[in-house]
Structure 1
C-alpha cells in the first residue's frame, strides 16, 4: 500500500508499497471486494507506525483529496453509514470494519486513516479497497422441449469475494437435487413438472434473485371428454361435449363424428339432440409437439319412430300358406311390440306368425311400438288371401219386372272373384255366363264358379210352369190389366212347351 502523509515526506517514502522505511503503513487483505446486495461486508486491515508514537484517531474515509482534515470525512459520522458501519479494530494494529446492508450506492474505494500524537502526523492507506456490489440474475433459455437437458446459471456482475454456496428455488420451494457446479443448476431430461419460476440465492443471505420462468414445451397428454348433462340423454335435450387436454403450448381441438369433421374448439354443443346424433365422437388435440385423440359414444334415448310392418312371403298369399308379419321400429331403448287386427289385440313380439292361413285371417293388421319415452302405431297392412270358389249356390232373382223371364242368380265366395258359367242338367255345353241367368224354358239349371285356384259347381235348380204362375201372381199384385197378364202368361207357356 502507498501511504499519504499529511506533512511532507521525502519522495522515496511515498513510493514504498505496504510499509514505509520508517515502519509507517496500512495493509488491506483484499484490494477489491465483490459483495452481494443486502449483505454484510468485512474489510480486513492492519496498520503500522514507528515505536514511540501513540495513535490519537483512527477512521475510514472514501475521500483522498489532500488538504485539511475536513476533506477526509469520517464515515462513522456520515448519516448514510453511521447506522451500518462498525469499527472492529483498535488503536494498535487492527483496523477492520464491518459494513452491513450494502447497496449499489456503497460502491466506492475506501481508505483507512490514522493520526499520531507526534507532530500530529496523519496517514491514509492508498490505494484503498474497492467495493463492488452485485445482485443475482438467473440465466436460462425461454423455452425448452420436454426431454431436453437444461442448465440454469446464477450470475453476478462481479466475482464474489467470499466463497459462496448457491441455493436454488422453484416456485418458492428450495431445490436440493440436480446441482451441477456451484452457481449452476442442471436439469437433465427436463420434464413438464420442471416448468416454473426459478430463483437463486446465497446460503446465509436473505437476498433472492428476481424470478425467471422456465417454459417447458410438451405434446398433448391423453385428452379427456366430459358430457353435460352427465346422465341419460333424451331426444330434444341440449348436450355439450368438453375436451380437456394438458399440453404446452395449448393444443388446438377438433371434433369428428366417424371420419367427418363436425366442429372445432374445446367445447362442442348440440342443441335439440336427436337419434341422428347417436354414435362415436372424437376430439383431436394437437400442437407443434404432437397430437392425441379421445373418443366418446353418445347414446340418445328416443321414442319409437319409423314403425313399419313387412310381410313374408312378400308376394301373393294363398289359403293354406304360412305368413309372417315383422314389425320394424327405430327406438332407444328397444320398444315392446304389440299386434292388432282391427282394434283387437292378437299377439306381441317383433314377429307375428300365422300358419295355414285362411280367409278368416283377412283384415287389417298393425303393430304398436312402445318404450318409456312414447309409443307409435305402424300403418295398417291388409291381408288379401287367395282361395278357390266355395259356397256356390243358385237362387231365383228377387226382382221381377214386367216382360222378364225367370232369372237365376249364382252366388259364390272366392278370391279373386270367380267367373260364372251356366249349365242345363244333362247338357255339356254352357247355356250362359255371368252371375245371373234368364231361364226361358223349364228344366234344371246349375252354375259353375271358377278362378285361378279352382272351381266349384252349385246344386241344380228346377225351373217349372209353377214358377211362371208365381210370376203371374206377382205381376198381378202391381194391378196390371188382366188381359195383358193372361196374354203374357199364355205366350210364355206356349214357348216353354215348344222348347220341351
Structure 2
C-alpha cells in the first residue's frame, strides 16, 4: 500500500564477494545488499532487480514487481462537445481517476445514480438533463467523488402562455394585469402586442383604469438568442354601460307620404344592448333599425330608442318625423252667409296640407282662367265657384259652391221693402211685449192678494 515501508534484499554466492547494485527497469537506483523504500508511493511501482558483479563476472537476479496500491485520487470529469449545449445535442462525460487497483466508476445527477463506467453518454440531450453531474471512483482501498460539473442545456422559448389577473368580467375603470410565462434557456426577453402593435415589455403588463379603447386581442412574445415564440392571443372584452345613444334617419331630408324611412339606433355599450323603439311614450318596435314603409301623415311625431344591457339603460334624444303631403280635403267656406241681402260674397279656401298651402287660385265653373287668388275671395257675381290649394308637393281643387249675389237698383228697393217690413215686425213685437208685461203684472197682484187672505 502507498505509504508502506518496503525492503528488498539481494543474495548471491560468489568468490570473491560480489558488488551489489539495484535497478528499476534499466535505471540504477541504489547499491548494497539491502535496498529500502520508506513510505512507498505509486511512483515506486515497477520491476526491480539486483546485479552481482566481481572480477570473474556479472549476474542479474530475476526481476521483482512492486505493485503499490492506493485508493482513487485526482478524480475529475471532462465534457466532450460544444461549450454551449443545445437541446438535441449528444454529450459525453469522461471520468478521470488515479487508483490502484483501477476504480469502479459510478455517475450521479445530484444525488441520484444515473449510470456507471468511465464514460457517460447522453444522446439527444433535453432540458430535463440539465443539472450537476459527478462521478465516483471506488476500489477496495476507498472512494473519491469528482467535483460536480453543470450541464446547462439551452433551448429556444416554448410553452409560452399568458394569464389575466382580476375579475372574469372587465369593467371600464378596472385595473387589469397580464402575466406572460415561458420556458426557455437562457431566460427570454418578453414583449407585449395588441394585435400587431407593440405595447410594452417585461413579464407583467398592467393596464390601470382600463377603457373601451383597450379592448382587443393581446399576446406576448418570448425571445432569446436561440429563437422566439408567441403566446395564443387573449381577448380583453372591456364592458361598460350605455353612452352616446342617438337616432339617425336614412333617406331624404324631406319625408313625403309613401316614402320608406329607416330609423337607426346608434349606441356605444358593451355587452350589446336590447333596443326598443317608442313614438312618444308608446312602444312601437325592437331592434337596431326601425323601418316604416309607405309612411303616412299618421306616422308623424317624435321617435326615440332605448338601449338596455346588464349595466343599465338610456334613451336617445327624440327625433321628429315630419311627414309632408300635398293639399287634401280642400273645401270652400262662405264667410258672410248670415247676411240676407248682399252685393258680394266672401269665400274662404280651407285645406289640409304639410307644409301648409300658401298659394290659392279661384275659379268660376266653365271658365278656364282663374278669377282670383289668395285664401280669401270676394265673389261679386252669382255662379258656382271653387278653389285650388297648392304646396310644394302638389295641388287639389275643392268642390264648387253656388253663390247668389243681389246687386244694382233693385237692391235699393229691396232695402226699402225690407225696412218697411222690419218696421211692421217691430210694432207687432212691441205690442206683444206690452201685452205680456200687463198679464204678468196681473198675475203678480193676484198672487199677493191670495197670500194676504191666507
- TM-score, normalised to structure 1's length? 0.61
Partner residue of 1:271? 208
Distance (whole Å) between structure 1 residues aligned to residue 311 and residue 83 of structure 2: 58
Distance (whole Å) between structure 1 residues aligned to residue 280 and residue 404 of structure 2: 44
- For 1:201-220, list aligned pairs within 5 A: 201-203=136-138, 207-220=144-157
Partner residue of 1:197? 132
- 1:289 offset after TM fit, Å? 0.9
Partner residue of 1:360? 298
- 1:24 offset after TM fit, Å? 5.7
- 1:195 offset after TM fit, Å? 0.7
Residues 49-105 of structure 1 show CA distances to partners (whole Å, capped at 9, x for unaligned) of xxxxxxxxxxxxxxxxxxxxxxxxxxxxxxxxxxxxxxxxxxxxxxxxxxxxxxxxx
**Unmatched segments (≥5 aa) in structure 1:** 35-42, 44-126, 399-404, 469-500
Distance (whole Å) between structure 1 residues aligned to residue 200 and residue 375 of structure 2: 72
Distance (whole Å) between structure 1 residues aligned to residue 111 and residue 169 of structure 2: 46
Partner residue of 2:444? none
- 1:193 offset after TM fit, Å? 0.8
- 1:425 offset after TM fit, Å? 5.1
The equivalent position to 2:114 in structure 1, one of 175, 190, 207, is 175
- 1:31 offset after TM fit, Å? 5.1
Partner SS, residue 246 of structure 1: strand
- 1:356 offset after TM fit, Å? 3.4
Instruction: Tell which deviates more after alignment, 351-360 or 249-258.
Output: 351-360
The equivalent position to 1:393 in structure 2, one of 291, 309, 331, is 331
Partner residue of 2:363? 423
Distance (whole Å) between structure 2 residues aligned to residue 162 and residue 129 of structure 1: 9
Distance (whole Å) between structure 2 residues aligned to residue 170 and residue 464 of structure 1: 131
Partner residue of 2:339? none
Maintained 8 Å contact 1:392/1:412: yes
C-alpha change, 1:407 and 1:268, in structure 2 (3 Å) is farther
Partner SS, residue 145 of structure 2: coil
C-alpha change, 1:31 and 1:266, in structure 2 (3 Å) is closer
C-alpha change, 1:310 and 1:12, in structure 2 (3 Å) is farther
Task: Check if 1:15 corresponds to 2:21.
Answer: yes
Task: Check if 1:454 corresponds to 2:391.
Answer: no
Maintained 8 Å contact 2:21/2:31: no
Corresponding pairs, count? 359
Partner SS, residue 128 of structure 2: helix
The equivalent position to 2:77 in structure 1, one of 132, 138, 144, is 138
C-alpha change, 1:447 and 1:11, in structure 2 (3 Å) is farther
The equivalent position to 1:184 in structure 2, one of 119, 122, 129, is 119
Partner SS, residue 100 of structure 2: coil
- 1:14 offset after TM fit, Å? 5.7
Maintained 8 Å contact 1:241/1:268: yes
Partner residue of 1:32? 42
C-alpha change, 1:314 and 1:265, in structure 2 (3 Å) is farther
Partner SS, residue 184 of structure 2: coil
C-alpha change, 1:316 and 1:246, in structure 2 (3 Å) is same
Partner residue of 2:436? none
C-alpha change, 1:31 and 1:199, in structure 2 (3 Å) is closer
Partner residue of 1:151? 92
Maintained 8 Å contact 1:4/1:14: no
Residues 109-152 of structure 1 show CA distances to partners (whole Å, capped at 9, x for unaligned) of xxxxxxxxxxxxxxxxxx99797983433333653111122222
Maintained 8 Å contact 1:222/1:293: no
Partner SS, residue 223 of structure 2: strand
C-alpha change, 1:297 and 1:438, in structure 2 (3 Å) is same
Distance (whole Å) between structure 1 residues aligned to residue 154 and residue 31 of structure 2: 69
Residues 217-270 of structure 1 show CA distances to partners (whole Å, capped at 9, x for unaligned) of 101103111112251222222212111110011111122222222222222222
**Unmatched segments (≥5 aa) in structure 2:** 1-5, 11-15, 25-29, 46-65, 337-343, 412-454
The equivalent position to 2:196 in structure 1, one of 241, 255, 259, is 259
Residues 280-320 of structure 1 show CA distances to partners (whole Å, capped at 9, x for unaligned) of 22211111111111222222223334434344544543323
Distance (whole Å) between structure 1 residues aligned to residue 350 and residue 261 of structure 2: 29
Partner residue of 2:340? none
Pairwise CA RMSD = 4.0
C-alpha change, 1:207 and 1:463, in structure 2 (3 Å) is farther
Instruction: Tell which deviates more after alignment, 244-253 or 208-217.
Output: 208-217
Maintained 8 Å contact 2:70/2:99: no
Maintained 8 Å contact 2:107/2:134: yes
Distance (whole Å) between structure 2 residues aligned to residue 372 and residue 146 of structure 1: 52
Give 1 or 2: higher strand fraction: 2
Maintained 8 Å contact 2:107/2:114: yes
C-alpha change, 1:128 and 1:258, in structure 2 (3 Å) is closer
Distance (whole Å) between structure 2 residues aligned to residue 185 and residue 412 of structure 1: 111
Partner residue of 2:255? 317
Maintained 8 Å contact 1:394/1:461: no
